[in-house]
Amino acid sequence: MDRDLVVAAQHGDQAAFVDLVRLRGDRLFAVAYRILRDVDRAEDALQDALVIAWRDLPSLRDPDRFDAWVHRLLAHVCIADAGRERRRIANLRVLPPDDLAAPDELLSVAERDRLDRGFRRLTPEERTILVLRYYLGYEPTEIAEALGVSAGTIRSRLHHAHRAMRAALDAEARAAAVGGTSA
Amino acid sequence: MNERSDIDRLLRHWIDDGPSTMPDRVIDVVADRISTQRQRRPWRQPWSEPMNLILKGAAAAAAVIVLIAAWNLMPRAPDGAGSPSASPGESPAPTTAPSSSASPSPTAGGFACDDPAFSCAGVLAPGDHTTIAFRPALTFTVATGWVNTLDRERALTLHDNESPGHFFQIMSQVAIPEQNEECSAARRAGVGNSVADWQAFLVGHSGLTASSPQAIDVGGHEGIRIDVRVADDWTGSCPGSLGPAVVLITDSGEPPSRARWIDDQRTTLRIVDVAGETVILYLETSPSPADLAAVNAELQPVIDTFRFAPPG
């Protein structure tokens, strides 16, 4: 059924494409938000990615690959946006979003704060890799396909991102222990 | 091991958290934006080819004929009652669209001719085919599933009906372009049109990242193959392009009327000297290098069957 929608949209059926957006939108928005950590920018990125998807949909060779294809488009749009934003706010102090301050049985507010800070220090590509890995459950080979780089590169960047997040947790914990901050 | 599992668990939990519902307004905005955004048919765009004067004249003449017919069929108001007007509920006057040339307008496989003003063969039967309008005349062989959507004097379009994710066109009467802000058709002054001239243009273009030219033979005619994409540091763009864009080809007409540009696509150009006429086999695919390689592999067996008739 979804394949029929994709094929119809490939042939210019706007209503079919809007139906696809309804079906896939939540998941895509969630991915965009998790890469960009900002609702408004995630919304803008999703809109841009979907318009590009509509424009280029006739070039999709296998309609069954629609999900992977649109995730790839979205990832590239988010990486571009995050790169611009990263340059713009490089010197600004980052505050944790309000919606992450809720009590949690696994993560303390302080840990969330540290993870958020650590995540924002990663490159846009590393953020995207973490989201594809931990939110969508992609394997490194699938991430490699989505981002157009080798699986080896993905494993290397995943390892680096992993270490950076670990270091962010540890460093900020140490800084907190001696009464400092590393904003 | 435990540390690794801990951080994995923390990361997964942290990333899982957060909004997971798309705001409703996204659908409205996207629906609105796609209503004005044409889809990019890989076998048609980006391709700027304004109607020529003859076509414009024919369209204008057809419009006049339709207006006259409509006028004659309209019910007349009594003499002296002012301008004629159709009464409510009445059918509008018939408006027959001007018929084009002898275009078969095939729809098999969901494809029509790219341009209704020019013929095409549509879905091709397996076997040999010779172009009708394209010059120099070309004979080629295809297996099942190939489609011809344009056959005019200076352009022939072929694609695999099963995987239309690319644009493949054979072009003659080509010329090296000069890029302007509108990316409209304009020739570069002071350059020739030989295969060597094209090689110098493509390899030396600061807006392109080009592969090393590779010598090829198409139907006994020598040429080169070059793969190109827009360079990472290029900033020029074209109206409607997705970011930076480079005009690759214009035509030798007076004045030139077509300009082909690329933005994020990967492109293979096979530039061949057919008895003194430069012919370009133009392939455009998605930004993926793997896609370009795959489509080139699909096309090569067909290209290997190309036989050009001597120009003229």
Instruction: For B4-24, write each residue's pLDDT tens digit.
Output: 567 788 888 889 988 999 999
A23-50 tens-digit pLDDT: 999 999 999 999 999 999 999 999 999 9
The pLDDT value recorded for residue A105 is: 62
Q: Would you give the distance in Å from CA B11 to the centre of its chain? A: 46
The list of chain B residues with pLDDT below 50 reads 1, 43-110
Q: Which residue of A has its CA nearest to B167?
A: A59
Tell me the CB-side half-sphere exposure of residue B99, using CA atoms within 13 A: 4
CB B46 within 8 A of CB B260: yes
Q: Which residue of A has its CA nearest to B31?
A: A18
Fill in the DSSP letter of residue A107.
S
The Cα–Cα gap between B18 and A115 comes to 13
The pLDDT value recorded for residue A173 is: 54
Which structure tokens are listed for A158?
Answer: 């995943």
Interchain proximity A17–B29, CB inside 8 Å: no
The pLDDT value recorded for residue A172 is: 53
Pairing of β B155-160 and β B122-123 = unpaired
How many Å lie between the alpha carbon of B167 and the closest alpha carbon of chain A?
9
The Cα–Cα gap between B291 and B312 comes to 36
The Cα–Cα gap between B207 and B209 comes to 7
| CA angle (A25, B110, B112) in 5-degree steps | 120
Side chain identity, residue A169 = L
CA torsion sign for A83, A87, A89, A94 is: positive
Q: Which residue of A has its CA nearest to B41?
A: A58
CB B270 within 8 A of CB B181: no
Confidence of residue A93 (pLDDT cuts 50, 70, 90): very low
Write down the mean pLDDT value for chain B: 76
Interchain proximity B26–A25, CB inside 8 Å: yes
Backbone angles phi, psi at B237, to 5 degrees: -140, 175
The pLDDT value recorded for residue A82 is: 82
The Cα–Cα gap between A86 and A89 comes to 5
Interchain proximity A51–B23, CB inside 8 Å: no
B52-96 tens-digit pLDDT: 333 334 444 444 444 444 444 443 333 332 333 333 332 332 222
The pLDDT value recorded for residue B262 is: 87
> Quick check: pTM over 0.80?
no
Interchain proximity A51–B18, CB inside 8 Å: no
Interchain proximity A106–B38, CB inside 8 Å: no
Choice between A1 and B262, residue whose per-residue pLDDT is larger: B262
The Cα–Cα gap between A133 and A128 comes to 8
The Cα–Cα gap between B212 and A47 comes to 38
Backbone angles phi, psi at A93, to 5 degrees: -75, 135
Write down the mean pLDDT value for chain A: 80
The pLDDT value recorded for residue B3 is: 57
The pLDDT value recorded for residue A152 is: 81
Is residue A169 over pLDDT 90? no
Contacts of A51 in chain B (CB under 8 A): 30, 33-34, 37
**Residues on B contacting A at a C-beta cutoff of 8 Å:** 3, 7-23, 25-27, 29-31, 33-35, 37-42, 110, 163-166, 242, 285-289, 291
Alpha helices in chain A (DSSP H): 2-10, 14-36, 39-56, 66-88, 109-121, 124-134, 140-147, 151-177
Mean pLDDT of A11-18: 91
The pLDDT value recorded for residue B59 is: 41
The pLDDT value recorded for residue B160 is: 76
Q: Which residue of A has its CA nearest to B39?
A: A55
The pLDDT value recorded for residue B312 is: 66
CB A68 within 8 A of CB A145: yes
The Cα–Cα gap between B168 and B226 comes to 15
Interchain proximity A100–B20, CB inside 8 Å: no
How many Å lie between the alpha carbon of A40 and the closest alpha carbon of chain B?
10
Torsion of CA A175, A176, A178, A180, to 10 degrees: 70
The pLDDT value recorded for residue B112 is: 55
Confidence of residue A174 (pLDDT cuts 50, 70, 90): low
Interchain proximity A33–B19, CB inside 8 Å: yes
CB B283 within 8 A of CB B145: no
Mean pLDDT of A101-112: 67
Task: Please enumerate in sequence order all residues whose Cβ is within 8 A of that of A182, keeping only pairs 6 or more positions apart, or say none.
Answer: A171, A172, A175
- Give the residue among B17, B15, B7, B12 at the shortest CA–CA distance from A166: B7
- Give the residue among A26, A168, A106 at the shortest CA–CA distance from B14: A106
3 state SS of B282: strand
Interchain proximity B20–A50, CB inside 8 Å: no
- Give the residue among A24, A113, A30 at the shortest CA–CA distance from A78: A30
Interchain proximity B15–A26, CB inside 8 Å: no
